[in-house]
Chains A and B, each alone.
Chain A
Amino acid sequence: MMEAKRKWDVKKLGPLIGLVLLCMVLSVLSDDFLTMDNWLNLLRQVSINALIAFGMTFVILTGGIDLSVGSVLALSSAITAGMMAQGINGFVAIFVGLLAGTAMGVLNGVLITKGKVAPFIATLATMTAFRGLTLVYTDGRPVTGFASSDILFQMMGRGYFFGIPVPIILMLVVYLVLYIALKKTTFGRHTYAIGGNEEASRLSGLRVDRLKMYVYALTGALSALAGLILTSRLNSAQPTAGTAYELDAIAAVVLGGTSLSGGKGWIFGTLVGALMIGVLNNGLNLLNVSSFYQQVIKGAVILLAVLLDRRKEA
Chain B
Amino acid sequence: MRPLIDMRSIQKSFGTNIVLNGVDFEVLPGEVHALMGENGAGKSTLIKVLTGIYDRDGGTIVVNGRDVHYRHPKEAERDGIVVIHQELNIIPTLTVAENIFLGREPKIGRTGVIRYKEMEQQAAAHLRRLGMDLNPRELAGRLSVGKQQMIEIARAISTNAKCLIMDEPTAALTEREIQALFSVIQTLKEQGIAIVYISHRMEEIFTICDRISVLRDGQFIGTKRVKETNVDEIVQMMVGRQIGERFPKRRVTIGEERLRVERLTKIGVFENVSFSVRAGEVLGVAGLMGSGRTEIMEAIFGARPFDEGDIYIDGRPVRIRSPRQAVEHGIAMITEDRKQKGLVLEMSVHENLTLPKLEQLATAGFIQSSKERDVVLSFIHLLNIKTSSPDLAVKALSGGNQQKVVFGKWLAMNPRILILDEPTRGVDVGAKKEIYEIINELAAQGVAIVMVSSELPEVLGMSDRVMVIHEGNVQAVLENDGLDQETIMRAATGGNR
Contact = CB atoms under 8 A, between A and B. Distances in A.
A5 to B, nearest CB: 7
A120 to B, nearest CB: 21
Contacts of A196: 344-347
A186 B365 contact: yes
Interface string A183-203: 011110110110011011111
Interface string A145-160: 0000000000000000
B388 A1 contact: yes
A184 B355 contact: no
Interface string B352-367: 0001101100100111
Given A193-B351, A200-B340, A201-B355, 15 more contacts: A1-B388, A186-B358, A186-B362, A186-B365, A186-B367, A192-B344, A193-B355, A197-B340, A197-B341, A197-B344, A199-B340, A200-B344, A203-B303, A203-B341, A204-B323
B340 A207 contact: no
Most chain B beta carbons < 10 A, residue from A189, A192, A197, A206: A197
Contacts of A273: none
A192 B326 CA distance: 23
B494 interface: no
A189 B376 CA distance: 15
A263 B343 CA distance: 13
B392 interface: yes
Interface string A1-25: 1000100000000000000000000
B67 interface: no
A205 interface: yes
Interface in B167-187: none
B344 A1 contact: no
A187 B359 CA distance: 9
A298 interface: no
Given A199-B341, A205-B326, A207-B324, A185 B303 contact: no
Interface in B295-343: 301, 303, 322-324, 326-328, 333, 335, 340-343
Given A185-B366, A193-B347, A200 B341 contact: yes
A255 B392 CA distance: 25
Contacts of B324: 205-207
Contacts of A5: 389, 391
Interface string A252-294: 0000000000011000000000000000000000000000000
B409 interface: yes
Contacts of B369: 184
B369 to A, nearest CB: 8
Contact of A1 (B346, B358, B392): B392
Contact of B323 (A192, A193, A205): A205
A186 B362 CA distance: 7
Given A189-B358, A190-B358, A203-B335, A197 B367 contact: no
Contacts of A202: 303, 322-323
Contacts of B341: 197, 199-200, 203
Contact of B362 (A185, A206, A263): A185
A184 B370 CA distance: 12
Interface of A: 1, 5, 184-187, 189-190, 192-193, 196-197, 199-207, 263-264
Contacts of B340: 197, 199-200
A185 B361 CA distance: 10
Interface of B: 301, 303, 322-324, 326-328, 333, 335, 340-347, 351, 355-356, 358-359, 362, 365-367, 369, 388-389, 391-392, 409
B359 A186 contact: yes
Nearest to A205: B327
B359 A263 contact: no
Contacts of B356: 204-206
B355 A185 contact: no
A74 to B, nearest CB: 32
Nearest to A185: B365
Contacts of A184: 366-367, 369
B49 to A, nearest CB: 21
Nearest to B359: A186
Contacts of B351: 189, 192-193
Contacts of A203: 301, 303, 323, 333, 335, 341-342
B343 A200 contact: yes
A206 B351 CA distance: 14
Contacts of A187: 365
Contacts of A197: 340-341, 343-345
A1 B351 CA distance: 18
Nearest to B303: A203
8 contacts: A1-B392, A5-B391, A186-B362, A190-B358, A201-B355, A202-B322, A202-B323, A263-B344
B388 to A, nearest CB: 4
A185 B391 CA distance: 17
A227 to B, nearest CB: 28
Nearest to A180: B366
Contacts of A204: 323, 327, 355-356, 409
- Most A CB within 10 A of own CB, among B344, B356, B392: B344
Contacts of B342: 200, 203
B399 to A, nearest CB: 16
Contacts of A199: 340-341
A206 B355 contact: yes
Contacts of B322: 202, 205
Name the 5 nearest CB pairs between A and B, nearest first: A205-B327, A196-B344, A1-B388, A205-B324, A204-B356
Most chain A CB neighbours (cut-off 10 Å) among B346, B351, B356, B367: B346
B362 A264 contact: no
B344 A201 contact: yes
B390 to A, nearest CB: 11
Nearest to B324: A205
A5 B342 CA distance: 25
Contacts of B343: 197, 200
A184 B356 CA distance: 16
Centre residue among A185, A189, A203 by max chain B CB count within 10 A: A203
Given A203-B303, A205-B327, A189 B345 contact: no
Contacts of B365: 185-187
A105 to B, nearest CB: 20
A215 to B, nearest CB: 15
A1 B343 CA distance: 22
A263 B346 contact: yes
A279 B342 CA distance: 43
A125 B461 CA distance: 57
A200 B352 CA distance: 10
A201 to B, nearest CB: 7
Contact of B344 (A186, A193, A205, A207): A193
A205 B360 CA distance: 13
A1 B392 CA distance: 8
A198 to B, nearest CB: 9
A169 B486 CA distance: 74
Nearest to B342: A200
